[in-house]
Amino acid sequence: MAVRRSSFVLRATPVTIIAHLMGIAAVTLVLIWYLHFREGLAFKSSNKLKIFNVHPVLMVVGFVVVAGEGVMAYKTIPGTRKVQKFFHMTFHLIALLVGILGVYAVFKFKREVGQPDMFTFHSWLGMGTICLFGLQWLVGFFSYWFPGAEMPFRASFLPWHAFFGMAIFLMTICTAEMGLVEKFLSQGLGRDKEAYVVNFTGVAILLFGITVTLSSVLPRY
């Protein structure tokens, strides 16, 4: 007598919904942190900390969350494969440009307060991540969009493109978490309300990274 065996199959849709919620939570928390507890944002101000504050906000909102949305574009955007590819590429381009602006903000802050650049592992990892992100985008653009490589190359390169893309995205998550820890230790936040906001921001970013990664490997339907 044959025994029917059932298996639990998780689809991408509920995971992407959770990822969207975690992304919204991360953006909301980082804005509360820097607008409510850290005096706001400015590219030009006598209060130099406002210039620095632009950096973490842009990196979380743009370089982490928008990049994650780009990873999930093939699971969340309705339409043809070409339409999904366009949004995948566009989200990542926006993330790259916002990330570059965020890096500019922190270099501007360091220059104006006379602090040395690139002396922490967070800064090393962050610079490496954004450089690799840009290289990945360029390779993907010229291989899969314009002018587009030959089909055999595109097919054979696709697993590596996906692998390096996820590796770089996870590097952005690690860099963001390290930045939170670095900021936490340098400010000595203790057990006040701001510390809870920072901790929950870190949790939201971590869960966003996990759910985006899981969504990318699950079937859409």
Give the domain ranges of the chain. Answer: 12-217
Residue 21 DSSP one-character state? H
CB 118 within 8 A of CB 124: yes
Angle at 202 between CA 23 and CA 127, to 5 degrees: 85
Cβ atoms within 10 A of the Cβ of 94, count? 16
pLDDT for position 63: 94
In which band, very low, low, confident or very high, does the pLDDT at 1 lie, cut at 50, 70 and 90?
very low
4: pLDDT strictly greater than 80: no
106: pLDDT strictly greater than 50: yes
- Give the separation between CA 160 and CA 176, rounded to whole angstroms: 24
Pick from 31-45, 85-99, 180-194: least confident: 180-194
Q: What separation in angstroms does the CA of 35 have from each of 47, 56, 80, 168, 191?
A: 14, 12, 40, 29, 19
Nearest-CA neighbor of 51 among 110, 11, 137? 110
201: pLDDT strictly greater than 90: yes
Nearest-CA neighbor of 209 among 29, 77, 15? 15
Pick from 3-7, 103-107, 142-146: least confident: 3-7
Q: Quick one: what percent of the chain has pLDDT higher than 70?
A: 93
CB 66 within 8 A of CB 102: no
Which fold does the domain 12-217 belong to in CATH?
A: Four Helix Bundle (Hemerythrin (Met), subunit A) (1.20.120)
Q: What is the mean pLDDT of the chain?
A: 91
Instruction: State pLDDT tens for residues 82-92.
Output: 999 999 999 99
Instruction: State pLDDT tens for residues 133-182.
Output: 999 999 999 999 888 778 888 889 999 999 999 999 999 999 999 999 88
pLDDT for position 3: 47
Mean per-residue pLDDT, 47-57: 95
